[in-house]
Amino acid sequence: MKKLALFASGNGTNVQQISEYFIGRGEITVDCVVVNKQNIYVIERAKNLGIDCFYFTREDFYSTDKVLDLMKQRGIDYIILAGFLWLVPENLLKNYDHKIINIHPALLPSYGGKGMYGHHVHEAVIAAKEKQSGITIHYINEKYDSGDVIFQAKCDIKPTDTPEDLAASIHTLEKTYFPEIIERTVFLQTAIELAKSNVHSGKGGPFGAIITKDGKIIAQGTNSVTSTNDPTAHAEVNAIRNACKELNDFNLSGCEIYTSCEPCPMCLSAVYWARIDKIYYAGDQNDAARGGFDDSFIYKEIALDKNKRSIKSEQFLKEMGKEPFEEWNNKQDRIQY
Ligand SMILES: [Zn+2]
């Protein structure tokens, strides 16, 4: 279970949406809300949601470890800035590297920086007669709106749109994407952490994968080729085997796989055979190639004429090869997959 702390400075619409999304989802829970102002509506929302809410002063944030201590004491894994308008202090940045996530109501790097928040952003975008705006979900660093971007989504702006119209479009995007992108980030980071720990365990290559269903992690897998003498024991294949065991089913429809690296052709095929709905991956083929795991040649081989592949394949006993299929097709109680 991963715990989120939501930091807010105002009305708390995002706090409401994130909290509601994760109720009953299983793997991620909103543990508490942290505010830097009194008498703001988000405090009321937290109360109604039954979530503990803590108020800290500027002094608490920037001159003490009180906030960090609270995060540690409650076992917080991620800090989500849900309309929080101050820079995050250094002690939190240091302890939550790539674990503090913000949403900005524009397409960064445009319309970001100090003073660019809420309606100020929308007014500037409309004044500049932009044709599009959107949201940027990004990690936090020591400067306003300049951490690594995780995700962006766009919306069109009509020539007649007012800043209020744009605000409404942005709210729709926030509601649609923010909770889901938080979840996706947590899941993919989990797969990447598995990959990193596998390097040090010595069990195999630097690959990790998890399989989820309805927001719950049902299985995980890491590469175990060298420790099990199994060249097919890639992270995704191991995760698929574990998920099938867990669900007692060979069909993983309704599941998603999060993998630290783009699947190789074998794993991609396994994902297809398992009927998994969607793949999320972090590193890609080029990253793998730099680690000595160049599978691009297999993709090229597949595209080649059979006779031109480096491993020769030859058809033999052609007629007899039809027999198992005839028997299969005649079997009344066969289990199709
Ligand atoms: Zn693979």
Q: What is the DSSP string of 35-98?
A: ESSSS-HHHHHHHHHT-EEEE--HHHHHH-SHHHHHHHHTT--EEEESS--SPPPHHHHHHTTT
Mean of the pLDDT values across residues 218-222?
A: 98
Percent of the chain whose pLDDT exceeds 70: 100
Percent of the chain whose pLDDT exceeds 90: 90
CA of 240 from ligand 1 middle (Å) equals 11
pLDDT range class, residue 246, cuts 50, 70, 90: very high
Q: Over 90: is that where the pLDDT of 93 sits?
A: yes
CA distance 19 to 135: 19
pLDDT range class, residue 284, cuts 50, 70, 90: very high
Q: Over 90: is that where the pLDDT of 118 sits?
A: no
CA of 266 from ligand 1 middle (Å) equals 5
- pLDDT value of position 177: 97
pLDDT range class, residue 295, cuts 50, 70, 90: confident
- pLDDT value of position 296: 85
- pLDDT value of position 330: 96
Q: 280, 210 in Cβ contact below 8 A?
A: no
Position with higher pLDDT, 54 vs 118:
54
- pLDDT value of position 142: 87
CA of 302 from ligand 1 middle (Å) equals 15
CA of 27 from ligand 1 middle (Å) equals 26
For residue 146, give the DSSP letter: -
Can you tell me whether residue 238 is helix, strand or coil?
A: helix
CA of 333 from ligand 1 middle (Å) equals 33
Of the candidates 150, 156, 151, the one whose C-alpha atom is nearest the C-alpha of residue 170 is 156
pLDDT range class, residue 26, cuts 50, 70, 90: confident
For 296, the token pair is: 């691009």
Q: Over 90: is that where the pLDDT of 211 sits?
A: yes
- pLDDT value of position 294: 82
pTM of the model: 0.94
Mean of the pLDDT values across residues 207-214?
A: 97
Work out the mean pLDDT of the chain and round it to a whole number.
95
pLDDT range class, residue 198, cuts 50, 70, 90: very high
- pLDDT value of position 24: 87
CA of 234 from ligand 1 middle (Å) equals 5
Mean of the pLDDT values across residues 14-30?
A: 94
pLDDT range class, residue 297, cuts 50, 70, 90: confident
- pLDDT value of position 70: 98
Q: What is the dihedral of CA 226, 230, 231, 236, to 10 degrees?
A: -90
Surrounding ion ligand 1 within 5 Å at CB are 234, 264, 266-267
Q: 226, 294 in Cβ contact below 8 A?
A: no
CA of 166 from ligand 1 middle (Å) equals 44
Mean of the pLDDT values across residues 207-223?
A: 97
CA distance 137 to 81: 10
- pLDDT value of position 115: 87
Mean of the pLDDT values across residues 138-163?
A: 95
- pLDDT value of position 47: 96
- pLDDT value of position 214: 93
CA of 293 from ligand 1 middle (Å) equals 10
CA of 194 from ligand 1 middle (Å) equals 15
Q: At what angle do helices 235-247 and 163-201 cross, to 10 degrees?
A: 100
pLDDT range class, residue 143, cuts 50, 70, 90: confident
- pLDDT value of position 99: 97
> Which residues have a catalytic role annotated?
236
Question: In angstroms, how far is CA 325 from the centroid of its own chain?
Answer: 42
